[in-house]
Chain A
């Protein structure tokens, strides 16, 4: 399979990213409107909607289960919007703002990737804009982990308002180097790409 040009790997990627892009374009319209609607009290009580938060799993398994063989890795609970708004509206607003910013950043990253793949399909990859695009994508990937920390800090602010039958702690996410290393690697590849672009420019001038 060819990697660049039409009917290639780049083209398949471009199609998938393009579909994701058009679907994601609906988010900045639907999500803020929906969140505002919920805040103003127009939320349908029949619908199950809420804030998803990671929780401490140490006490989640029922007592009857033998815990010597089963180790819980992760669990997420959904706290109902109405409950949060009635108990802590400020936490809800902070969470909603964070979600809107995160959607904005995701869309920005997706747009950069889409533009990059578009040039790959048209076989005009070596241009200055692509260097910036790859660097932007790398920085956004590096930002994923700090953003998840911020999310878990906001989620942790729900902890005091949720009184459980048993001790339930909303979890702070630990250190995960994965995204950081991938981001750095892409940034490094962007530098290599920049060198490639410079050589390409020199070659064009020579010819």
Chain B
């Protein structure tokens, strides 16, 4: 199996990353439009917001006929909602959400651009290019930042749901902090450093020859 260069595994990954990059770029172009529309009186949000519910409120619907309590919900149920529908003449909460989504998409786009640069070097069979380790370092820091940013985004969604949505019996659950991105970022940081060392060794070897 060919790993580096044209028609290789890297080429395949590069294709998917390019596709993701294009999708995020299109969404990022559309979001400012929705932001402008808020001030023209048309309120809509393109990306729905995540919200989790406690499973307890649905347990009534999940009891087995004739049994005592054989099926039980675990902690929460993951859902999403479109916030614009609940607007009552207030544009600023939806505008804040749109701005947060724009910032988030910009963040993802920048991260994918960095990944694309690394993949392009691997595609050109230049794994020990000087800039690879610095791109990887940027990616590592960005991955570490995902955890707090995602947590903030979930809180924003929770705040909107609790303040503006008339959800009757539904009770939203508090967002959880996901630590996995922090660990993942640290591991990528280690990989970046290994890349830096490998690049140095490669340079020294070239000088020796």
Residues of chain A having any CB pair with chain B under 8 Å: 1-4, 9-10, 12-13, 16, 48, 50, 52, 57, 60-62, 64-65, 68-80, 82-83, 117, 120, 125-126, 162-166, 168, 177, 181, 184-185, 187-189, 191-193, 195-196, 199-200, 202-203, 206
Contact = CB atoms under 8 A, between A and B. Distances in A.
Contacts of B170: 65, 70
B143 to A, nearest CB: 12
A165 B127 contact: no
Contacts of A72: 77-79
B71 A177 contact: no
A62 B194 contact: no
A74 B3 contact: no
A76 B57 CA distance: 14
B61 A76 contact: no
A138 B165 CA distance: 44
Given A73-B78, A188-B9, A188-B13, A164 B122 contact: no
Contacts of B191: 189
Nearest to A17: B183
Contacts of B208: 203, 206
A199 B202 contact: yes
A52 B70 CA distance: 12
A165 B65 contact: yes
Interface of B: 3-4, 9-10, 12-13, 16, 48, 50, 55, 57-58, 60-67, 69-74, 77-82, 85-86, 122, 127-128, 165, 167-170, 183, 186-187, 189-198, 201-202, 204-205, 208
**What 10 pairs between A and B have smallest CB-CB spacing?**
A3-B193, A196-B198, A83-B70, A192-B127, A191-B3, A9-B189, A75-B77, A73-B78, A13-B186, A10-B190
Given A65-B170, A78-B71, 13 more contacts: A1-B189, A3-B190, A3-B193, A9-B193, A12-B186, A50-B72, A70-B167, A83-B64, A117-B190, A185-B13, A188-B4, A195-B127, A206-B205
Nearest to A86: B70
Contacts of A79: 70-71
A79 B79 CA distance: 21
Contacts of A125: 194, 197
B169 A64 contact: yes
B73 A75 contact: yes
Contact of A3 (B48, B189, B202): B189
Contact of B205 (A4, A60, A185, A199): A199
B59 to A, nearest CB: 9
B62 A77 contact: yes
A68 B85 contact: yes
B4 A74 contact: no
A57 B78 CA distance: 10
A74 B77 contact: yes
B61 A187 contact: no
Nearest to B128: A196
25 contacts: A13-B187, A16-B183, A48-B72, A57-B77, A60-B58, A64-B168, A72-B78, A72-B79, A73-B50, A77-B71, A80-B71, A83-B64, A83-B71, A120-B194, A125-B194, A163-B65, A168-B62, A177-B16, A184-B12, A187-B3, A187-B9, A191-B3, A193-B198, A196-B194, A206-B208
